[in-house]
């Protein structure tokens, strides 16, 4: 049985990494095999690309080149880690994936949408996310949180950008959630850690209950009705 591919998206300081680690422990306790990976990164080659991009070394070559570097790192991660894990029935939790390219290089970087989608299709074939959590919070709140991590190394290539650009990215992620409601769930990341954890756990439990109830027969007709976008989890 194929595993599940769950990605985590959102702006700077949204708390994705913290929640991925916590969720992985919970799922392992429940008896699942879990793999954590990230973008760019996961493999030695992709981690090398991560250093080049986040250090700002590739910025002088433009956002098109950065998009190509991200795609190359993604391709390595998909082929070396993600696809084999999914084929073995493992739950893969990935910190950023294709939606970050759509937003960071597309929405705020100005890279042509069709160019990005062409690379996305080529790289993610057989490894499209089954479920995506978008951690949403005002950029000024996220950057204030992220500043605690900057004490040693300072902000990276994208954390340095101004609030206007960060807000454009936030809206870009929310637009993706609206366009793909069957895949994306928005988490209100401005809440306390405990409330975010509770909202995430509830959404994961609901998702697994849903896929377990799905009929196995391929002949089952699909509903043609449109689903409304999922509401922000954890908010009232």
Q: Can you list the domains of the chain with their CATH numbers? A: 5-213 (3.40.50.300)
pLDDT value at residue 160: 77
Q: How far is the C-alpha of 64 from the C-alpha of 68, rounded, in Å? A: 6
Q: What is the pTM of this model?
A: 0.85
Residue numbers in the chain where pLDDT is lower than 70: 149-157, 213-236
pLDDT value at residue 183: 97
pLDDT value at residue 157: 67
pLDDT value at residue 107: 93
Q: Is 3 exposed, middle or buried (0-12, 13-18, 19+ CB in 10 A)?
A: buried
Contact 158, 194 (CB under 8 A): no
Tokens, residue 197: 């954890």
Q: How far is the C-alpha of 46 from the C-alpha of 53, rounded, in Å? A: 11
pLDDT value at residue 51: 86
pLDDT value at residue 18: 95
Strand partners, 231: none
């Amino acid at each position: 049985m194929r595993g599940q591919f769950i990605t985590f998206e959102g702006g700077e300081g949204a708390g994705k990494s913290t929640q991925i680690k916590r969720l992985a422990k919970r799922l392992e306790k429940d008896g699942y095999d879990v793999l954590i990976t990230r973008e760019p990164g996961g493999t030695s080659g992709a981690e090398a690309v991560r250093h080049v991009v986040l250090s700002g070394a590739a910025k002088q070559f433009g956002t098109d080149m950065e998009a190509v570097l991200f795609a190359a790192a993604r391709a390595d991660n998909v082929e070396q880690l993600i696809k084999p894990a999914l084929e073995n029935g493992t739950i893969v939790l990935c910190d950023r994936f294709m939606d970050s390219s759509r937003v960071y290089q597309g929405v705020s970087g100005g890279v042509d949408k069709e160019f990005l989608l062409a690379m996305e299709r080529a790289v993610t074939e057989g490894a499209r996310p089954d479920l995506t959590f978008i951690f949403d919070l005002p950029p000024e709140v996220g950057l204030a949180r992220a500043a605690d991590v900057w004490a040693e190394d300072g902000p990276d290539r994208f954390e340095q950008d101004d609030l206007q650009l960060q807000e454009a990215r936030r809206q870009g992620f929310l637009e993706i959630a609206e366009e793909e409601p069957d895949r994306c769930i928005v988490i209100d990341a401005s809440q306390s850690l405990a409330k975010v954890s509770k909202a995430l756990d509830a959404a994961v439990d609901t998702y697994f209950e849903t896929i377990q109830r799905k009929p196995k027969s391929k002949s089952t007709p699909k509903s043609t009705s449109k689903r409304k976008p999922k509401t922000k989890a954890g908010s009232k």
